[in-house]
Amino acid sequence: MLARIGESRIELLVGDITRQAADAIVNAANSQLAGGGGVDGAIHHAAGPALMQETARRYPEGCPTGQAVATTAGRLAARYVFHAVGPVWKGGRQGEPDLLANAYRRCLELAIEHDCASIAMPAISTGVYGYPIDLAAQTALGTTREFLIARGRPSIVRFVLFSEGAYGAFARTIEAMFYPS
Ligand code: ADP
């Protein structure tokens, strides 16, 4: 599925983000940048140990929630990994939407700073961190849309969803946002 914003586009697909050929892929990291399960474990496994070595060397203090940091991408096809720290869902009244929006916005800024035409992102916070997928889709897509309207880059923002359910939530949100009936 596809939505166009000026010269840019948002793409949705079901897949494994470690297999994406994009200039940058986004990791859903924890604030210690310590690695873990889910997409984080998959990215570190596919990239190889150099990714953790670089992350620990460059960012020993970790990364605050709502922010993201960049490394190279080890054995992955991408040039960069942006390690974004989304919020843990605590019911929605503890700043979760703003923190999730900030994490996505920072990744899109990093893409511009690193001259990336394409970026692939997962549904940050929707696994172990428990963020409801429909609300996460609204924030992810709303933030991306605003960013692309304001900045006109990157050319391709691809959301790589890991299940049909997550894809459905993102697809319904895109329909409501871009193709209202
Ligand atoms: P968080 O701690 O931010 O919730 P998780 O890794 O637990 O991070 O989950 C974030 C999202 O990434 C979930 O929707 C999960 O299904 C998805 N995911 C897990 N593995 C992959 C993968 N290889 N590619 C893309 N998405 C993935």
Per residue in 106-146, pLDDT tens?
Answer: 999 999 999 999 999 999 999 999 999 999 999 999 999 99
Cβ of 17 closer than 6 Å to ligand 1, yes or no, is yes
Query: What is the rounded CA–CA span in Å between residue 126 and residue 76?
Result: 23
Residues noted as catalytic: 40
Query: What is the rounded CA–CA span in Å between residue 107 and residue 126?
Result: 17
Residue 18: predicted pLDDT = 98
| Mean pLDDT value across the chain | 97
Domains of the chain: 2-179 (3.40.220.10)
144 CB-side CA count, 13 A: 34
The CA 162 to ligand 1 mean position distance, Å, reads 7
The number of residues in the chain equals 181
**pLDDT of 1 above 90:** no
The CA 151 to ligand 1 mean position distance, Å, reads 27
Residue 180: predicted pLDDT = 80
Residue 49: predicted pLDDT = 97
* Nearest C-alpha neighbor of 120 from the set 86, 152, 148, 155: 155
- For 57, residues 6+ apart whose C-beta sits below 8 A from its C-beta are none
Query: What is the rounded CA–CA span in Å between residue 80 and residue 120?
Result: 11
Cβ of 96 closer than 6 Å to ligand 1, yes or no, is no
Strand pairing report for 24-29 and 80-85: parallel
Residue 179: predicted pLDDT = 83
Residue 62: predicted pLDDT = 98
Cβ of 20 closer than 6 Å to ligand 1, yes or no, is no
Helices 49-58 and 38-47, interaxial angle, to 10°? 110
- Alpha carbon separation from 71 to 18, 57, 63, 103, 172 (Å, rounded): 15, 10, 13, 16, 33
**pLDDT of 181 above 80:** no
* Average of per-residue pLDDT across 96-107: 98
Q: Which residue is associated with the tokens 């399960």?
A: 37
28-85 pLDDT, tens digit each = 999 999 999 999 999 999 999 999 999 999 999 999 999 999 999 999 999 999 999 9
